[in-house]
């Protein structure tokens, strides 16, 4: 039986190994979920498929390449998760320097809480 060779293309990758498509879908899903979870973060999400190609030299003639090896690696990067910004006080005494936050309004150490009368 003759060897059936086909030209490598993006479309042919799933035929070569279904795990390449699964790798792509995994990272695409990860990015889609992050976009849904954090629609207000307009930072780019990046999906990368890296193709590592290494020539295989002919053992009889090292100046000839008739084969290569191919590895596909997938990766995705998401924006870093960030909390809201807090303003704290810096206080020093004999024991050392400490950072203090407002227990009633953690976002602003100087903000006083509004007190309501109990009727």
- Tens digit of each residue's pLDDT (9 = 90 or more) over 36-54: 999 999 999 999 999 999 9
Quote the percentage of the chain above a pLDDT of 70: 97
The verdict on residue 26 lying in a domain is yes
Per the model's pLDDT, the better-predicted residue between 2 and 100 turns out to be 2
Q: Comparing C-alpha atoms, which of 48, 97, 108 is closest to residue 74?
A: 48
Q: Does 87 share its domain with 71?
A: no
Is 45 within 8 Å of 35 (Cβ atoms)?
Answer: yes
How many folded domains does the chain comprise? 2
Boundaries of domain holding 71: 13-77
Residue 119: is its pLDDT beyond 70?
no
Q: Does 72 share its domain with 95?
A: no
Of all helices (H) and strands (E), which one includes residue 14?
A: helix 13-16
Question: Is the entire prediction scored with pTM above 0.85?
Answer: no
């Amino acid at each position: 039986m003759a060897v059936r060779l086909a030209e490598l293309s993006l479309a042919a990758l799933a035929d070569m190994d279904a795990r390449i498509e699964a790798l792509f879908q995994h990272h695409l899903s990860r990015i889609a979920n992050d976009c849904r979870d954090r629609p207000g973060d307009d930072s780019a999400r990046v999906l990368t498929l890296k193709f590592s190609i290494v020539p295989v030299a002919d053992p009889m003639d090292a100046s000839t390449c008739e084969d290569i090896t191919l590895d596909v690696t997938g990766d995705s990067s998401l924006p870093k998760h960030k909390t809201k910004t807090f303003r704290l006080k810096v206080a020093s005494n004999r024991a050392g320097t400490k950072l203090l936050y407002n227990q009633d309004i953690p976002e602003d150490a100087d903000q006083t809480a509004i007190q309501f009368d109990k009727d």
